[in-house]
Structure 1
């Protein structure tokens, strides 16, 4: 496999992991929890989802041919209001991710060094992909933090729970050993 194809597969896996982590947060929270603003000047999880979905639709629609900041996007509006229902939030979440995943899946190794623009600034496709991996990871991290704050002791860890690092490592080593024996 060429390094370019391996990179595309890695980025796609990163985006899917980021999405899965966000969904792990959303699954643990009530509809009311989604709208809690943890501190003045902060955003609720619903607002973060609204921003992510708006960003994804803007960045990934016609990714290779139009500026990633679409004239139809109203970024400021993404930080106002919220969603009337959990279903509306989840629909927006899924639509944003679907545009992203469909676009990334359609990219070829030959696309990686092409130039795209975001707010008039030129980026290689590689740079644009990395920019969005970082951006989305930051916001999903915010969602995790707010979710943990809201749920306190009832929070179900989305990674290795505290106190279980050694057991997890041993399990991974056993799995790796089993793979080399087969």
Structure 2
């Protein structure tokens, strides 16, 4: 099962990298842009993700994942004052997650933990959080692409380049490797 922990960490790193690459293309004003009334900016989505990460991954094995100190409703009020503060918070959330993930052992994976008093095995909780973060990172990337328009630098296989991408992949010998190793 240790492969599960390593694979999950790599997958979380991949989602973080998608956010990082999106933020690198955007100004602070673009990160704060709401595209329609009552929509969330990238900045607000990140504030929510960080709040969730700090709550879920702090004392992951010993405390409920929904901490009493979390102010979830405030996560949807944009309060970042600089791109540096924005990025520092983004990294703080991920550092909390990676610290907890890297401390897990195979024996921990079937332990029961709680999120809002709902029991989850550690595997179920990790999967729940990974899917939650993938959902929001997908929103971040999509918003970034909408904001940048034709100036967007693709984070995956660019349109019209699938054949070239596949040719390069199939030119390598078969072997077990995580898909993120080539990114």
TM-score interval (norm. to shorter): over 0.9
Q: Using the alignment, how far apart are the partners of 2:95 and 2:5 within structure 1?
A: 17
1:40 to partner: Cα distance: 2.1
For residue 55 of structure 1, the aligned residue among 52, 74, 78 is 52
Mapping 1:1-182, distance limit 5 Å: 4-176=1-173
CA displacement at 1:25 relative to structure 2: 0.7
Q: Shift of the alpha carbon at 1:178?
A: 9.8
Ranges in structure 2 where 5+ consecutive residues have no aligned partner: 177-183
Whether contact under 8 Å (1:12, 1:104) holds in the other structure is yes
Residues 35 and 41 of structure 2 are in contact (CA less than 8 Å); yes or no, is this contact kept in structure 1?
yes
| Structure-2 separation of matches of 1:49 and 1:178 | 36
Give the distance between the partners of 1:121 and 1:37, measured in 2 at CA: 34
Write the distance in 1 (CA, Å) between the matches of 2:15 and 2:78. Answer: 24
Structure 1: segments with no counterpart, 5+ residues: none
In the TM superposition, residue 38 of structure 1 has moved relative to its aligned partner by: 1.3
Under a length normalisation based on structure 1, what TM-score does the superposition of the two structures give?
0.94
- Matched residues in 2 for 1:156 and 1:44: separation? 19
Q: How far, CA to CA, are the matches of 2:130 and 2:23 in structure 1?
A: 19
**Runs of 4 or more consecutive aligned structure 1 residues displaced over 2 Å after TM superposition:** 175-179
- TM value normalised by structure 2: 0.93
